[in-house]
Amino acid sequence: MSSIISISGVTKTYATGFKALKEINLDIERGEIFALLGPNGAGKTTLISIVCGIVNRSSGSVTVDGHDIGRDYRAARSLIGLVPQELTIDAFETVWATVNYSRGLFGKAPDKAFVEKVLRDLSLWDKKDAKAITLSGGMKRRLMIAKALSHEPRVLFLDEPTAGVDVELRQDMWAMVRRLREDGVTIILTTHYIEEAEAMADRVGVINRGEIILVEGKAELMRKLGRKQMTLELRAPLAALPVGLSRYALELSADGNELTYTYDSQSDRPGVASLIRDLEAAGIQFHDLDTKNSTLEEIFVNLLRQEP
Amino acid sequence: MNRHAAMNLRAVWAIYRMEMARAFRTVLQSIVSPVISTSLYFVVFGSAIGSRITEIDGISYGAFIVPGLMMLSLLTQSISNASFAIYFPKFVGSIYELLSAPVSYLEIIIAYVGGAATKSIMLGLIILATAALFVPLRIEHPFWMIAFLVLTAVTFSLFGFIIGIWAKTFEQLQLVPLLIVTPLTFLGGSFYSIHMLPGIWKTITLFNPVVYLISGFRWSFYGKADVSVGVSLGMTLVFLAACIAIVAWIFRTGYRLRN
């Protein structure tokens, strides 16, 4: 796959001297769903704002489908739709007027049928004559999305799309993201809800203190950094771990009824099979066993912890 | 579209239409209130006080103040329209869309300043029509009257746009119109000829740019001016050029927009 967005050497230092971004290099592949994860203040929104033309970069270059965002800003920006984090809408405009306005702003010829389809897809059609100020928070969020989709973008940025959004809207939103992806739209999203990145993203980038600390395919990331845990429920409580089992990273619960073994899913040394054999040899019996993979969230927390 | 492509006229039209829609939505504030305040000026200055004032330059006082009144509204409304139009999206954050859109600064300016200027020109004409109900009017140089009207509306809309970008608070937004423009307009000969001022004040007044606007505008009505029309036109163009230069600088640096 070729990259649709190419960010190289981008830095941003605000007038206050705050270095929001230090040397960002990142390529977004055509048609993928890319999740940008990072704690508050990591630089996610600054990075998105630079690509979209809202904030000037201090140095570096960005191209969108080969168009430089500075020299060739018209071509670059007309490909991008942005749904910002904050619900910022001219409150006194109607839904219909503001979505058509967005389409015009991006230089597209009026197309009532298309705008109607966008509004219907987002369950906003009934509200088309309502003023933005009268809409609920969730409806306003839908309206922001409708505005971003009104000009048929090839790249869609969703900045914290599901912050403070109810379950129904969240599911609608993910259904929409999947549909857009089927149409070949590239989607870049930032989120705090890592389980969503886990469910949706093809690749994950982690940004912290203005630096990209990792970019990986989600599956590889889970495999590489993920850990497995096996929990054994013992038939009889143990007072202490037998000496013969010390080579395993075992943890005994306070009541002595549960034994937890954490291991790297990449290597199987020392393996699960040998642990079970050794348990049997030591005369420790169990009546149930449970294994689980670490979630992206745990991986993420670990990554940030490792940062100096 | 590439960078050699023509202007994004659809965007200009979209913004312009949105701005005009705002005016019609707030029709009471945009149109009715200036009509009422103009009528009040005529009742007070035209009839009540004006009846005791002799003619100025051979023009009845009521008619004399019409160009000044139009200018007064034109200046303040152009500034407030344009400054609010750009400040408000900045304030609520919806400016993100404008900044992320494939529009050039020139297109943004044409749309916003065009919208604000259109509104104040309409307003000027409404005031003129209202005035015609109170006093006999004549316009000797209609072409120049329209030219001054348009030029002033555009210049001060541009000035308002600059204020709107510069302002960080609503207070700052009101500051310049209130503390600078209104005094300059009142002292710029809206209600008198500067020849009526005593010696030194006449000279000081010549540093007031509004004097030239009002003088030139009044000349287009009655053929009488405080300063020569050429100078009036020149000063207006100088102010327009200054505003354009400031706007160009703002956009080159992204001042208070993209930082």
- Confidence at residue B2, expressed as pLDDT on a 0 to 100 scale: 42
Segment A177-220, tens digit of pLDDT: 889 999 999 999 987 677 777 788 999 898 888 999 889 888 88
Segment B43-63, tens digit of pLDDT: 887 777 777 777 777 788 888
User: Would residue B2 count as lying in a domain?
Assistant: no
User: Would residue A306 count as lying in a domain?
Assistant: no
Q: Are residues A208 and A262 in the same domain?
A: no
Mean pLDDT over residues A264-288, rounded? 77
Q: Are residues A64 and A151 in the same domain?
A: yes
Q: Is the pLDDT of residue B3 over 50?
A: no
Q: Are residues A30 and A172 in the same domain?
A: yes
Burial of A250 (0-12, 13-18, 19+ CB in 10 A): middle
Q: Is the pLDDT of residue A246 over 90?
A: no
pLDDT interval class at A156 (50, 70, 90): very high
Q: Are strands A211-217 and A250-252 parallel, antiparallel or unpaired?
A: unpaired
Strand order in the sheet with A155-159: A80-83, A155-159, A186-190, A33-37, A203-208, A211-217
Q: Domain holding A271: CATH number?
A: 3.30.70.100
Chain A residues in contact with B25 by the CB 8 A cut-off are 92
Q: Are residues A118 and A249 in the same domain?
A: no
Q: Are residues A216 and A176 in the same domain?
A: yes
User: Would residue A301 count as lying in a domain?
Assistant: no
Nearest-by-CA chain A residue for B1: A75
Q: Calculate the dihedral angle through the C-alpha atoms of B186, B191, B192, B198, rounding to the nearest 10 degrees.
A: -40
Q: Calculate the dihedral angle through the C-alpha atoms of B49, B186, B162, B92, rounding to the nearest 10 degrees.
A: -40
Mean pLDDT over residues A63-70, rounded? 94
Higher pLDDT among residues B186 and A129, named by residue: A129
Higher pLDDT among residues A182 and A227, named by residue: A182
User: Would residue A303 count as lying in a domain?
Assistant: no
B79: distance to nearest CA of chain A, Å?
A: 21
Q: Is the pLDDT of residue A286 over 90?
A: no
Final residue before a domain boundary, out of A187, A222, A257: A222
Report yes or no: A80 at the B interface, CB cutoff 8 Å: yes
Segment A76-112, tens digit of pLDDT: 999 999 999 888 888 788 999 999 999 999 999 999 9
8 Å CB contact of B92 and A91: yes
Chain A residues in contact with B112 by the CB 8 A cut-off are none
Q: What is the ipTM of this complex?
A: 0.84
User: Would residue B249 count as lying in a domain?
Assistant: yes
Report yes or no: A17 at the B interface, CB cutoff 8 Å: no
8 Å CB contact of A52 and B103: no
Nearest-by-CA chain A residue for B7: A107
Mean pLDDT over residues B206-230, rounded? 87
Q: Are residues A40 and A188 in the same domain?
A: yes
The number of beta carbons lying within 10 Å of the beta carbon of residue B200 is: 8
User: Would residue A263 count as lying in a domain?
Assistant: yes
Q: Which of B131, B124, B135, B126 is nearest to B213 (CA)?
A: B124
Test mutation, A49, A62, A64, A74, chain B, max B CBs within 10 A: A74
Q: What percent of chain B has pLDDT over 90?
A: 32
Identity of the residue in B2, B96, B103 whose CB atom sits nearest the CB atom of A54: B96
Q: Are residues A214 and A290 in the same domain?
A: no
User: Would residue B158 count as lying in a domain?
Assistant: yes
Task: Give every CB contact of residue A54 below 8 A, 6+ residues apart in sequence.
Answer: A82, B96, B99, B100, B258
Q: Domain holding A112: CATH number?
A: 3.40.50.300
The number of beta carbons lying within 10 Å of the beta carbon of residue B58 is: 9
Chain A residues in contact with B259 by the CB 8 A cut-off are 14-15, 55-56
Residue A9 structural domain: 3-222
- Confidence at residue B258, expressed as pLDDT on a 0 to 100 scale: 72
Q: Is the pLDDT of residue B138 over 50?
A: yes
pLDDT interval class at B191 (50, 70, 90): confident
Report yes or no: A72 at the B interface, CB cutoff 8 Å: yes
User: Would residue B149 count as lying in a domain?
Assistant: yes
Residue B144 structural domain: 9-253
Q: Are residues A116 and A265 in the same domain?
A: no
8 Å CB contact of B102 and A107: yes
Identity of the residue in B2, B89, B258 whose CB atom sits nearest the CB atom of A90: B89
B37: distance to nearest CA of chain A, Å?
A: 26
User: Would residue B259 count as lying in a domain?
Assistant: no
Q: Are residues A53 and A142 in the same domain?
A: yes
Nearest-by-CA chain B residue for A15: B259
Chain B residues in contact with A18 by the CB 8 A cut-off are none
Q: Output B186-190 pairs: Cβ under 8 A, ≥24 positions apart.
A: B186/B72, B188/B68, B188/B71, B188/B213, B188/B214, B189/B68, B189/B214, B189/B215, B189/B218, B189/B226, B190/B65, B190/B68, B190/B69, B190/B71, B190/B72, B190/B214
Q: Is the pLDDT of residue B1 over 60?
A: no
Q: Are residues A93 and A152 in the same domain?
A: yes
- Confidence at residue B73, expressed as pLDDT on a 0 to 100 scale: 87
**Structural domain total, chain B:** 1
Final residue before a domain boundary, out of A222, A244, A273: A222
Higher pLDDT among residues A163 and A234, named by residue: A234
User: Would residue A300 count as lying in a domain?
Assistant: no
Report yes or no: A57 at the B interface, CB cutoff 8 Å: no
Test mutation, A62, A100, A105, chain B, max B CBs within 10 A: A105
Among the ranges given (A131-135, B3-7, B34-38), the one the predictor scored with the smallest mean pLDDT:
B3-7
8 Å CB contact of B11 and A105: yes
A23: distance to nearest CA of chain B, Å?
A: 18
B114: distance to nearest CA of chain A, Å?
A: 16
**Per-window interface: A 83-122 vs B, CB < 8 A:** 84, 86, 88-93, 97, 100-109
Nearest-by-CA chain B residue for A13: B259
Final residue before a domain boundary, out of A222, A241, A260: A222
Q: Residue B228 half-sphere exposure, CB side, CA atoms within 13 Å?
A: 3
B103: distance to nearest CA of chain A, Å?
A: 7
Among the ranges given (A261-270, B111-120, B185-194), the one the predictor scored with the smallest mean pLDDT:
A261-270
A104: distance to nearest CA of chain B, Å?
A: 5
**Per-window interface: A 27-56 vs B, CB < 8 A:** 49, 52-56
Identity of the residue in B1, B13, B14 whose CB atom sits nearest the CB atom of A74: B1
Nearest-by-CA chain B residue for A81: B100
Q: Are residues A151 and A234 in the same domain?
A: no
User: Would residue B114 count as lying in a domain?
Assistant: yes
Q: What is the DSSP string of chain A?
A: --EEEEEEEEEEE-TTS-EEEEEEEEEEETT-EEEEE--TTSSHHHHHHHHHTSS--SEEEEEETTEETTTTHHHHHHTEEEE-SS----TTSBHHHHHHHHHHHTTPPP-HHHHHHHHHHTT-GGGTTSBGGGS-HHHHHHHHHHHHHTT--SEEEEESTTTT--HHHHHHHHHHHHHHHHTT-EEEEE-S-HHHHHHH-SEEEEEETTEEEEEEEHHHHHHHH-EEEEEEEESS--SS--GGGTTS-EEE-TTS-EEEEEEESS--SS-HHHHHHHHHHTT--EEEEEEEEPPHHHHHHHHHHH--
Cβ burial A106-120 (10 Å sphere, 16+ → b, else e): bbbeeeeebbeebbe
Q: What is the mean pLDDT of chain A?
A: 87
pLDDT interval class at B4 (50, 70, 90): very low
**Structural domain total, chain A:** 2
Chain B residues in contact with A54 by the CB 8 A cut-off are 96, 99-100, 258
Higher pLDDT among residues B30 and B88, named by residue: B88
User: Would residue B183 count as lying in a domain?
Assistant: yes
8 Å CB contact of A84 and B96: yes
Identity of the residue in A56, A89, A93 whose CB atom sits nearest the CB atom of B258: A56
User: Would residue B137 count as lying in a domain?
Assistant: yes
8 Å CB contact of A107 and B11: yes
The contact set of B with A (CB < 8 A) is: 1-3, 5, 8, 10-11, 13-15, 17-18, 21-22, 25, 88-89, 92-94, 96-104, 254, 258-259
8 Å CB contact of B93 and A88: yes
Q: Are residues A103 and A190 in the same domain?
A: yes
